[in-house]
Structure 1
Amino acid sequence: MSMFGRTGQHRHGADPRRDRPRQPPVRNSGRQGYDVRKRLMLVGGGLALCAVALVGRAVNLQLVNNEFYQKQGDERFQREVEVATTRGMITDRNGEPLAVSTPVESVWVNPQELSKSPEGIRKLAKALGLSEDELRRRVSQKAEKEFLWVKRRINPAIAQRVVAMGIPGVYSQREFRRFYPQGEAFAHVLGFTNVDDFGQEGVELALDEWLRGKPGLKRVIRDNRGRIVENVDLLRAAQPGKDVRLTIDRRIQYLTYRELKAMLEQSGASSGSAVVLDVETGEVLAMANLPSFNPNNVGSANREAHRNRALTDLFEPGSTIKPLTVAAGIENGVITAQSTFNTSPGWIANGKYRTTDTHNYGVLDTTGLIKKSSNVGMSLIAHKLSNQQLYDFFQKFGFGQRTGIGFPGEAAGLFSPPARWYGTTKQTMSYGYAISATPMQIAHAYATLGNDGVSIRPTFIKDEQGERKQVITPDLARTIVRMMQTVTEPGGTATQAAILGYHVAGKTGTARKASGGGYSRRYVSYFAGLVPVANPRYAMVVAVNDPSRGSYYGGLVSAPVFHNVMEGVLRLQDVPPDDIDSWIAAQSKEMKGQPVIARAPAAVPAPAAATLPMPLPEPLEAGQ
């Protein structure tokens, strides 16, 4: 059969299923028709039940059992922040404020927020006076961080105005800034603090832990802009720093600074230091250094100006050490107060060099050696002493060791033991070379002489008791002080240190500075003294470095500073005169209309030559 025939058969009835008629659907006569209203009521009821459940759950979370979820929410906005505390105040001995802390604000930003606002960076930089490019660079470098200081310790009003501008991610925080009312006159005593309020130099560094205190800690809630909206809990109370009362007298310190500054301007000197000690207690009443700096604006000062030269700079003391050489000779029994010395012909050999005096003084007694500042006489005493005797005596007065004052950076000085001395060292040391000391060490040695031979550790803290030690007998100390009195009297080398109505004991010094294996024509001019002689109250040392105009002798450069300062101190402290005769004579002259010379200018002899244990370009001039 052909394919076509089979196909036709199939189309015309071969499949009975295709030809069966379709039947209508049969409904179950037992079911009701579809009810739309009922279905809507059912859905509405279900929704109502869900709403009631949600309301109940909300009531449960917010009113009945809200503590857990409240805590979880708060934790996402809670922060622990420090509570700034004030640094302790520093005052002088009379309670006058020298260093105080004032509240300031510091501006900080969240770089993640601020980096998204270029316009905000521009506004912030303009408001704070910063470089826009620099600020943009800093923010971009910290773009992944949440904190960046922008400007620290500024006026609170300025900080509040900046925050009020609404710049995204800009906030402020309270801090404290140190303020020094007395300025540069106290800079080296007080030191200063850094931007984080940590002590850097001076008393601020030495007593930093005592002054700093401990910041507090509190838990707060911040809003999405970083503002504190609630103080949650105080975790740790802030502990303010403790106050410190110094031994410094504000009036004496300023007077010392003023007179030292005037002399530096007059003499063209490069630097200078002055120290005033209370002889009986060892308290430091003044310590001034120049050049100085403004501790309220430390960044503008030359770093060299930060040096506390009275404690860090070492110089050969020159002739200021001669009274100790005489005392060493008397204590060791090799001379007496009445001994005589033939200083002719005005020089003495010292190895291949000579130690010389300015003039041939001929025969001098022991007091005359100090009055005329004879290098030859000191050499004669040194020849009678052993190396160990001279070394032990100087060491008792603190040379070669720190005074223990507690200031950071204090130098111990250079004082080699006898085993390291050269053949000329002892003789050279007897008139103040081959040994180095700070102005504070020299002041301490003179205070020991004025205190009947009792050495007291110097102190800056009021009511702190320094260690006391009897190093020489009271009789010997008084003898040396009386000898030094002749230095400020007619014929001595420091008549410009004399004070009308008071006996003054002291010693000048003009030491040449070592340079390049020898000694240069640069000088340190000293005066060290005690007043009043009858009952020494104050010891003072003045050191002027590199005077370049006029004279460079200690009697003409440093002695006038001593006079001006001590005259003011004696008046401020109402110290009774111990030289009534000169006072009465002066009053009598004044009544008669005659000029009164409180301190007659004296022609100070040129320093005598001194030999040192190293080659010199020419004979060295000794300290007068």
Structure 2
Amino acid sequence: MIGRITAMIRFARCRKFLFQCIAIGVILAMVASACLFKLASIQLIDGQMAAQAATQARTKKVIVHSMRGKITDTNGTVLAQSVERYTIIADPWAASQFEPIDCDTQKAKQAGFCHKVNGKPVGVKGSAGVARLLAPVLKMDAKTLGAKLTGTSRYMILKKDVTPTVKRAIDDLNLGGVVYGELSSQRIYANGTQLGALLGGVDDSGKGVAGVESMENSALTGTDGYVIYQQGNGGEEIPGTLTGSQEAVNGSDVALTLDHDVDWYVKQALLEGQKKTKATWAMAVVQDIQTGEILALEDTDEYQAGSDQAKLNASRAVSESFEPGSVGKVITMSGLLQTGLHKATDKFTVPYSYTKDGQEYHDSSAHGDEHWTLAGIIKNSSNVGVVMASSQYTKKQRYEYLTKFGIGQSSGMSIPGESRGQLGTPESWDGRTGNTILFGQGYSVNALQLTNVVATIGNKGVRKQQSLIKSVTHADGTVETPQEGSSTRVIDESVADQVKNAMESVAEGYSKVVNVKGYRIAAKTGTAEVAGSDGRLTSIVADFAGMIPADNPRFAITVIMKDPQGTYGGMTAGPVFAKIGEFLMQKYNVPTSSPRNDAIAVDW
């Protein structure tokens, strides 16, 4: 009995032990299973994710910047272009870890390079060592560089607009992962203050913000590309790891109608004329009468293209508006002839002063009653004469011909800062303004508008659309030529010939100061009172607008001066006109004029 009890106790103990072993075995199996699962997870799942994360950490997308297109003159002379430059970047944290490799050491042999300054060991490590190596190449003070390289930042700009030569010298310092260059570009302009405000400039991002740079920004701007690769610890590209790329497409080149040589000469002639007459400013336009192309667009402002002044100030030759003065009489004569109200040979007795509708008008200098034809009224620039001749010329007709010649309208060239001038409607004209517009007062124009008035007369009465853009050459070599603007007949050819004839008589009256040997000139002078600095009519704008040669018009030239000594346009702006005209005749080898034998009588 005792034996059975003892056996039962032993059996119970064994069973308990067995259960404990089984429980422990189950637990160990579960732990082992968990370990196996985790191991599989690490190897098959987390390992892949870790590998992907490591790859992503090494992967770098580098933007390949496109180059902005060039701006050239009509002959291909470069006026503005972008050149390759670099922004030098440092990693201050990496600089703090820098340890220079001395030459002639085992480490140098293994690395394949070493660090030295003037042939000697760098001597210090960390940011100070990097600065000591870099300072001579960047031509910067080592202490200043060391201060920039100190800290935990991972991105610090050290210097902008570094040339490729300097960039290569930095590469030779073997500072990969610490200092590197980011490709950028710098916009440079070749001609100082010539065409300064007209070309305008770009902002820090390379976007055109003024002048032609803004006007043609969409064409000039390229499309950036990129490359994607994996980099090593030193920032270098790991061979064979390029995974994606897209080539940059450079901006298109824009060719202007301007001729650099003509424009340069015009600029010099204006500066000389300004100095001689002590004018506040002067400006000029040269236009090809047959095509409408602008060959020169200049003023005496001294703004460097790309400068803040060039970005803030539009070209005076397009932005400045002024009363044309007596040049406006050619529009009046054109309208009088075209409407059939008068012939150029109609006779008038013209006094010095004349009262109409309670308003008195007088000429610029006292004279007795003169016997002038309509052509003579233009030749002698009589205010009284044009008012008398226009007694049947309605306000509606006056407005019609002003607008037909482009007064109060945009040139259509979309030049930034261009003024439209000012022309009121007939309903807005008071009793005096309705007559002063006959002799170029009471409305305002810009130099482009006034030039096209003369060009229209020289082009046998057909007004051409002016142009400044000759062509756009895209990165793939294709050339796009802007669609030629419409031409509009303003007056009949016979009317244009008569107005031109009268203008030639005007020019002959100034032949002692305005002449180009061998060539006939047809022109009109103008002098108008404008507001001075005190806001009152204390300043003068003098202009001389004409065409050369008169017998076969090739070029329209307008010269305008503010407050010149000598006052009258023929005596001040006229000689500058002649200087420009002489250069044009020589440059383009224009045949000399035939003798004049068709002059319309100016007296009776």
TM-score by length of 1: 0.74
- The 3-state SS of whatever aligns with 1:520 is coil
Are the counterparts in 1 of residues 72 and 255 from structure 2 also a CA contact under 8 Å?
yes
1:290 is the counterpart of 2:300? yes
Match of 2:531 in 1: 514
2:87 aligns with 106
Counterpart of 1:181?
Answer: 190
Secondary structure, aligned partner of 2:399: helix
Cα deviation code 1:266-312 (max 9, x no counterpart): 2222222111111111011111122132226x25x5777x4301111
Equivalent residues of 1:525, 1:545 under 8 A apart: yes
Whether 1:97 and 2:78 are equivalent positions in the alignment is: yes
Distance 1:295 1:226, change over 3 A: farther
Deviations 1:218-263 (A, max 9, x none): 1133344444455614432111212222211122111111111111
Question: Is the CA contact (8 Å cut-off) linking 1:348 and 1:356 kept in structure 2?
Answer: no
In 1, the alpha carbon distance for the partners of 2:156 and 2:385 equals 70
Q: Distance in 2 between matches of 1:514 and 1:445?
A: 24
Q: Which residue of 1 aligns with 2:64?
A: 83
Identity among equivalent pairs (%)? 28
Alignment correspondent of 2:493:
474
Q: 1:443 Cα deviation (Å)? A: 0.6
For 1:307, give the aligned amino acid.
A
1:333 matched to 2:345? The reply is: no
1:540–1:345 CA distance, 2 compared to 1 (3 A): closer
Question: After superposition, where does 1:521-560 map in structure 2 within 5 Å?
Answer: 521-547=538-564, 550-560=565-575
Aligned to 1:32: none
One-letter code aligned to 1:401? Q
SS at match of 1:184: coil
Secondary structure, counterpart of 2:202 in structure 1 = coil
Report the counterpart of residue 591 of structure 1 in structure 2: none
The alpha carbon displacement at 1:573 in A equals 0.8
Which residue of the other structure, out of 209, 221, 230, is the alignment partner of 2:218?
209
Q: How do residues 83-162 of structure 1 correspond to structure 2 at under 5 angstroms?
A: 83-110=64-91, 119=128, 146-161=154-169
- Runs of 5+ unmatched residues, structure 1: 1-56, 583-624
Contact 2:541 2:561 in 1 (8 A): yes
Q: How big is the shift at 1:543?
A: 1.1
Q: 1:382 to 1:224 in 2, by over 3 A?
A: farther
The 3-state SS of whatever aligns with 1:558 is helix
2:253 pairs with 1:243: yes
Give the aligned residue type for 2:305: P
Helix, strand or coil at the partner of 2:88: strand
Q: Secondary structure at the match of 2:365?
A: coil
Equivalent-residue separation in structure 1 for 2:403 and 2:512 (angstroms): 30
Please, what is the CA RMSD of the aligned residues? 3.5
Corresponding residue to 1:370 among 351, 367, 378: 378
Aligned CA distance change for structure 1 residues 144 and 214 (closer, same or farther; 3 Å): farther
Question: Which of 1 and 2 has greater Rg?
Answer: 1
**In structure 1, what is the Cα distance between the partners aligned to 2:388 and 2:404?**
22
User: Which sections of structure 2, spanning at least 5 residues, go unmatched?
Assistant: 1-39, 98-125, 471-480, 598-604
1:454 correspondence with 2:462 = yes
Q: How does 1:226-241 map to 2 (within 5 A)?
A: 226-230=235-239, 232-241=242-251
SS of 1:383's partner is: coil
SS in 2 for 1:200: strand
Q: For 2:590 and 2:89, how far apart are their aligned partners in 1?
A: 56
SS in structure 2 of the partner of residue 512 of structure 1: strand
CA distance in 1, matches of 2:548, 2:265: 17
Deviation string 1:353-406 (CA, Å, 9 cap, x unpaired) is 543331315221111111111111122234332111101110001111101012
Q: For each residue in 1:471-516, what CA deviation from the matched residue of structure 2 results, as whole angstroms up to 9, or x when unmatched?
A: 1111111110111001111xx2465232111110001112221248
Q: For residue 314 of structure 2, what is the aligned residue in structure 1?
A: 307
Quick one: distance in 1 between partners of 2:512 and 2:435?
A: 28
**1:122-164 CA deviation, whole Å, 9 max, x = no partner?**
7678975779999999999xx8875454432232333444563
Q: Partners of 2:445 and 2:215 in 1: how far apart?
A: 22
Does structure 1 residue 419 correspond to structure 2 residue 427? yes
- 1:600 is matched with none
C-alpha contact 1:351 1:424 (8 A) present in aligned 2: no
1:322 aligns with 2:329: yes
Q: Tell me how far apart the structure 2 counterparts of residues 446 and 562 of structure 1 sit (CA, whole Å).
A: 14
Pair 1:219 & 2:228 matched: yes
Q: Does the residue aligned with 1:571 lie in a helix, a strand or coil?
A: helix
TM-score (ref. length: structure 2): 0.77
Over 3 Å counting, the alpha-carbon distance change for 1:425 and 1:133 in structure 2 is farther
**Residue 191 (structure 1) aligns with:** 200
